[in-house]
Amino acid sequence: MPEGVIVKALSGYYYVKPLEIETGGAGGEETIQCRARGIFKKKGVTPLVGDHIRFSHTENGEGVVDEILPRRSELIRPPVANVDLAVLVFSVREPDLNLQLLDKFLVHIEHSGLDTVICLTKQDLLPAESGGGNPVALVKELYENIGYQVIVSSSRLGLGTELLKERLKGQISVFSGQSGVGKSSLLNSLVPGLNLETSAISMKLGRGKHTTRHVELIELVHGGFVADTPGFSQLDFLELGVEELSTCFREFHSYAEECKFRGCSHTHEPGCKVREAVEEGKIAASRYEHYVQFLTEMKDKKRRY
Binding-site positions for GTP read 121-124, 177-185
Q: Could you tell me which residues are annotated as the binding site?
A: 121-124, 177-185, 259, 264, 266, 272
Q: Could you tell me which residues are annotated as the binding site for Zn(2+)?
A: 259, 264, 266, 272
Rounded CA Rg of the chain:
21
Q: Find out whether 196 and 182 touch, Cβ atoms under 8 Å.
A: no
Beta bridge partner(s), residue 138: none
Phi first, then psi: what are they for 13, rounded to 5°? -105, 145
Residue 174: CB atoms within 10 Å: 26
Phi first, then psi: what are they for 218, rounded to 5°? -110, 125
Peptide bond preceding 79 in cis form (omega within 30 of 0) = no
Residues 6+ away with beta carbon under 8 Å from 284: 142, 146, 251
Angle, vertex CA 143, rays to CA 141 and CA 148, nearest 5: 120
Q: How many Cα atoms occupy the beta-carbon half-sphere of 214 within 13 Å?
A: 13
Q: Find out whether 259 and 271 touch, Cβ atoms under 8 Å.
A: yes
Residues 6+ away with beta carbon under 8 Å from 198: 182, 184, 185, 188, 211
3-state SS assignment for residue 10: strand
265: left (phi over 0), alpha (psi -120 to 50) or beta: alpha
